[in-house]
Amino acid sequence: MSLEKIQEQIREAAGRGAALCIRGGGSKDFYGNAPRGERLDTREHAGIVSYEPTELVVTARCGTLLSDLEKTLSEKGQFLSFEPPGFGAGATLGGCVAAGLSGPRRANAGSVRDAMLGAKILDGRGQLLAFGGQVMKNVAGYDVSRLLAGSLGTLGVIVEASLKLLPRPPEELTLKFELPQAKALANLNRWAGQPLPISASAWRDGELSLRLSGARSAVRAAAEKLGGESATQEEAARFWAGVREQSDPFFVGDTPLWRLSLPSQAPALELSGEQLLEWGGALRWLRAGSNAANAAAVRAAASKAGGHATLFRAAEKPQGAFAPLSPVLARLHRELKRSFDPAGILNPGRLYPEF
Amino acid sequence: MGNALPQVDFVLQRKISEKLREFLPERCVLWQQEDTQPYECDGLTAYRRVPMVVALPETEAQVRRILQTCHALGVPVVPRGAGTGLSGGALPPGDGVLLSLAKFMRVLRIDPVARVAVVQPGVRNAAISDVVAPFGLYYAPDPSSQIACSIGGNVAENSGGVHCLKYGLTVHNVLRVRGYTIEGEPVDFGSEALDSAGYDLLALAIGSEGLLAVTTEVTVKLLPKPESARVIMASFDDVEKAGDAVAAVIAAGIVPAGLEMMDKPATHAVEQFVRAGYDLEAAALLLCESDGSTAEVEDEIARMKDVLTAAGATRLAVSRDEAERLRFWSGRKAAFPAVGRISPDYYCMDGTIPKKRLGEVLKFIGAMEKKYGLRCPNVFHAGDGNLHPLILFDANDADQLKRTEAFAAEVLEKCVQVGGTITGEHGVGVEKIDQMCIQFGAAELETFHAIKRAFDPKGLLNPGKAVPALSRCAEFGRNHVKATGQLGHAGLPRF
Ligand SMILES: Cc1cc2nc3c(=O)[nH]c(=O)nc-3n(C[C@H](O)[C@H](O)[C@H](O)COP(=O)(O)OP(=O)(O)OC[C@H]3O[C@@H](n4cnc5c(N)ncnc54)[C@H](O)[C@@H]3O)c2cc1C
């Protein structure tokens, strides 16, 4: 029912060339460039289509609340291993895939894109298209479902997604270490090269938190080897939720928030502003201004280190949310956009101003 | 297509060779038939075509110029790695250039701290793990062809291996692909960071079967070698029970490092060939591996043994040391060549199905064996539902060949019908191009063509592979209906 409604709305808008702003719970309105256009609400198209725990796969509609989905999975001892941040109670699966954001476990368990097995979309013509499927291995056709992760709705309205799941690890333990940033980075990279059951890491303000997950024996052996001070279960749960949902004090306040995605071994950045590190050093959050000079400095530092910088949260994003693309990549983006959405009506400008 | 005598356009051949010789040394351009013949097919030997010209560049600058030259001439280019592909993806163009990356054999950089290696596309899969072994690291995806296949080919096919249930496919283990578009523009997909700005073009490039760009450099992720690994060999007196045991292992919250199944005909073929010590009485064998810290592996092996016993395993053997572990795996890894020994020819299928439909699909295959009077041993990446039924036949018998085609087509169609796919890891190539018409509708296929056009507007890079023309599907549909449920492998000449 609601699928037809969405389809109708797309067709109608395409006919008029009117921009549509695809929106679920609106928990990620802040992300990317400012949303514009008439609202296309995905929330009615909700519900789990199929869930077979022994297949390690779930298929659900875009409007399904992330919280509902996670609850269903956890009843069977499984979870979305990329720990997507909701950034609000209304977060939907469609928004999670479109934003392509992964949480603390990403460096060890993979990203949204890694877990994508299949998707159904309504493209900019209102055509219903199905890519991938519900099986782990599938190389028939280009991997469009993974391309959708992080596309911010610019290629199609993601109406259904199939994701790979993992069993919840039986044991989890968080260790804390007092360390300066450079030392934390060195340790994280060294540990990552050893067979240790690390499932998350975060450094801020001289303290490194390291989460171990897995079989009880593996977690205990690793804890013994690594030392540090163990956090209580409650402390740990609160801390990781704070990092994942950005409710941790580091993320509070109006100073713009930059997200730098770098090779994990990149040295500590010499940028002014407070930092929080995740993903074994591969993700660095920075609180720093977003004016032209700052933006240029942050983007230059990120690109020099072999990565890129996103202006994640800021009142205004005049320099664009995302790092600019090379001319060849920009051309490929435009061509892809045009083939999925010839009228350019789906979330225009959300990813890059020019499309 | 097929083994028809090549009808070479000598004028064009000469023109291309001369153009390429303007910047390539003599040893890098082959055009005489005795030199080009070895490139006539990949691992799917059913399809052969002698390439018009073979180019063997040694530098990126040469790759670039080859592409620019071909683009300017409007001549098709087919990239080739080691030629082990099983779907005819590297089948050469009769009217263009086969671009072999075989000389791109260097490991450019190993960074043990960042746990990455930057390699050229011709580097063999197994060679990566070999060179990084001194750092206690390895490259996880391990196709059975790993001693021969190239990383460039792995990227093109999104290859898997027996450990991909836990460690993922090529797409999960490659950070960056550098390549050239058909117009000779350099492109970088991905980076050494965990994500990149914009669309995930890396995901699009991986598994694109050489249709979007020519890979010239690959940055792979390296993992620390697990402290310990042990494998259980479990026997079952019934294949369906073995299938249920697979589900039971997953339901117990275990993700084994590897979970493979072989039926009795497969174990018999293999045992003659490698003496892996398989239980020849069993109707089906499961190989179920655990890796991690020593204590963890002990725990997990004990848990898996309980689950397998409860699921009705008639015999369990756990590898006692590394040599025995490798021996248990050797049989599985040698399954294709072993089957090649007991039959003049074999045809390897590659469908994936939801695991819960395994019993049904195996029964279906059993019925097809009777219907077509051909044997079909099964090896199966059980953990991720990827089936490799191997139809045994004799290509010299035209009727057997026809029956094999029909058999394979019915099985692939069955895979789609139960909610699976026509190819889990071998790719579509030329082989499964008609089955793409069953897997996808016209709108999806048109989207694939549009993606192709975004990268290659003239359609010169590996044309005619992976995505069927809509007109071809229309014709296929007509034949399909005519044959009352049987797929004719249109244009499939000989295996
Ligand atoms: C005995 C045997 C066992 C096998 N086992 C497995 C298995 O367990 N898992 C699995 O996934 N596969 C398996 N395969 C299939 C095959 O080995 C893989 O598909 C492999 O990745 C092909 O690599 P290659 O270098 O031989 O590529 P090729 O066969 O040369 O080419 C394959 C495709 O890649 C393209 N290509 C190659 N190099 C490049 C490049 N540099 N740039 C752009 N495109 C390129 C070609 O155009 C072609 O479309 C097996 C094959 C055999 C013969």
pLDDT (tens digit, 9 = 90+) per residue, A211-233? 999 999 999 999 999 999 999 99
Contacts of B155 in chain A (CB under 8 A): none
| CATH code matching the domain that covers B228-338, chosen among 3.30.70.2190, 3.90.1150.10, 3.20.20.60, 2.60.200.30 | 3.30.70.2190
Instruction: Output the six-digit token pair for A315.
Output: 């009142």
* pLDDT of B483 over the 60 cut: no
Region A88-96: mean pLDDT is 97
Q: Is the pLDDT of residue B493 over 70?
A: no
CA distance B283 to B422: 26
Reply yes or no on whether the pLDDT at B491 is more than 60. Answer: no
Is B255 close to A127, i.e. CB distance below 8 A? Answer: no
Q: Which residue carries 């910047």 as its tokens?
A: B23
Judged by CB atoms closer than 8 Å, whether chains meet at A193 and B115 is answered as yes
Q: Which amino acid is at A335?
A: E
Mean of all residue pLDDT scores within chain A? 97
Burial B411-432 (b: 16+ CB within 10 A, else e): bbbbbbebbbbbbbbbbbbbbb
Cβ-based contacts of A352 with chain B (< 8 Å): 198
Mean pLDDT of chain B: 93
The tokens for B333 are 């890894």
Residues of B in contact with A335 (CB under 8 A): 453-455
On whether the CB atoms of residues A282 and B116 are closer than 8 A, the answer is no
CB pairs < 8 Å spanning A and B: 261
Q: Is B462 in the pocket of ligand 1 (CB under 6 A)?
A: yes
Q: Are A171 and A213 in contact (CB under 8 A)?
A: yes
**Three-state DSSP class for A135?**
coil
Tens of pLDDT, residues A135-185? 999 999 999 999 999 999 999 999 999 999 999 999 999 999 999 999 999
> Distance between CA atoms of B337 and A249, rounded to whole angstroms?
60
Average pLDDT over residues A4-13: 97
Q: Which residue's alpha carbon is at the smallest distance from atom 35 of ligand 1?
A: B210
Q: What are phi and psi of A78, to 5 degrees?
A: -120, 170
Q: Is B464 in the pocket of ligand 1 (CB under 6 A)?
A: no
How confident is residue A1, by pLDDT bands cut at 50, 70 and 90? low
- According to the model, what pLDDT value does residue A277 have? 98
Task: Name every chain A residue with its beta carbon within 8 A of the beta carbon of B425.
Answer: 137, 139
Distance from CA of A354 to the nearest CA of B (A): 12
Q: Which atom of ligand 1 is nearest to the CA of B209?
A: 49
Q: What is the pLDDT of residue B5?
A: 56
Residue A198 to chain B, least CA–CA distance (Å): 12
- Per-residue pLDDT, B6: 58
What pTM was estimated for this model as a whole?
0.96
CATH 3.30.360.10 is held by the domain B107-224 = no
Does the beta carbon of B197 lie under 8 angstroms from any beta carbon of chain A?
yes
Q: What residues does each domain of chain B span?
A: 2-100, 107-224, 228-338, 345-359+367-377+385-484
Amino acid at position B390, single letter: L
Distance CA B370, CA A156 (A): 46
Q: So what's the pLDDT on residue B147?
A: 95
* pLDDT value, residue A153: 98
Confidence of residue A2 (pLDDT cuts 50, 70, 90): confident
Residue of A nearest to B158 (CA): A139
Residue B489's pLDDT band (cuts 50, 70, 90): very low
Q: Is the distance from the beta carbon of residue B92 to the nearest atom of ligand 1 less than 6 Å? A: no
Per residue, the 3-state secondary structure of chain B, as one string, reads CCCCCCCCCHHHHHHHHHHHHCCCCHHHEECCHHHHHHHCCCCCCCCCCCCCEEECCCCHHHHHHHHHHHHHHCCCEEEECCCCCCCCCCCCCCCCEEEECCCCCCEEEEECCCCEEEECCCCEHHHHHHHHHHHCEECCCCCCCCCCCEHHHHHHHCCCCCCHHHHCCHHHHEEEEEEECCCCCEEEEECCCCCCCCCCHHHHHCCCCCCCCEEEEEEEECEECCCEEEEEEEEECCHHHHHHHHHHHHHCCCCCCEEEEEEHHHHHHHHHHHCCCCCCCCCEEEEEEEEECHHHHHHHHHHHHHHHHHCCCCEEEECCCHHHHHHHHHHHHCHHHHHHHHCCEEEECCCECCHHHHHHHHHHHHHHHHHHCCCCCEEEEHHHCEEEEEEEECCCCHHHHHHHHHHHHHHHHHHHHCCCECCCCCCCCCCCCCCHHHHCCHHHHHHHHHHHHHHCCCCCECCCCCCCCHHHHHHHHHHHHHCCCCCCCCCCCCC
Band of residue A96 on the pLDDT scale cut at 50, 70, 90: very high
Task: Please write the tens of the pLDDT for every residue from B279-317.
Answer: 999 999 999 999 998 888 999 999 999 999 999 999 999
pLDDT at B476 over 90: no
Q: Which parts of A107-204 are beta strand (E)? A: 116-122, 128-132, 157-164, 166-167, 171-178, 198-204
Angstrom distances, CA of residue A75 to CA of A51, A71, A78: 12, 6, 7
pLDDT at B481 over 60: no
Q: Which residue of B has its CA nearest to A120?
A: B444
Question: Measured between alpha carbons, how far is B485 from B146 in angstroms, rounded to an integer?
Answer: 37
Pick the CATH number of B2-100 from 3.40.50.2300, 3.30.43.10, 3.90.1640.30, 3.40.220.10: 3.30.43.10
CB contact under 8 A, B455 and A147: no
- Among B62, B67, B86, B180, the mutation site with the greatest number of ligand 1 atoms within 8 A of its Cβ is B86
User: Is A197's CB within 8 Å of B196's CB?
Assistant: no
Residue B419: name the closest of A59, A129, A149, A64 by CA.
A59
Segment B76-92 mean pLDDT: 97
Res A310: pLDDT: 98
Closest ligand 1 atom number to CA of residue B86: 15
| Position A26 confidence tier, pLDDT thresholds 50, 70, 90 | very high
Residues of chain A contacting B213 with CB distance shorter than 8 Å: none
Q: Is the confidence at residue A340, as pLDDT, over 50?
A: yes
Mean pLDDT to the nearest integer, A84-95: 97
B400-440: per-residue pLDDT in tens? 989 998 999 999 999 999 999 999 999 999 999 999 999 99
From the list B187, B192, B208, the residue facing A142 with the nearest CB is B208
Pick the residue of A139, A166, A308 with the most B CBs within 10 A to test the interface with B by mutation: A139
- Is the pLDDT at B133 greater than 50, yes or no? yes
Confidence of residue B490 (pLDDT cuts 50, 70, 90): very low
Query: What's the rounded Cα separation, in Å, for the pair B271 and B269?
Result: 6
pLDDT digits (tens, 9 = 90+) for B164-198: 999 999 999 999 999 999 999 999 999 999 999 99
Give the pairing of strands B284-292 and B228-236: antiparallel
In the predicted structure, residue B487 carries a pLDDT above the cut 50: no
ipTM field: 0.97
Identical topology for domains B2-100 and B228-338? no
* A258, HSE (Cβ side, Cα atoms, 13 Å): 31
Cβ pair A143:B203 closer than 8 A = yes
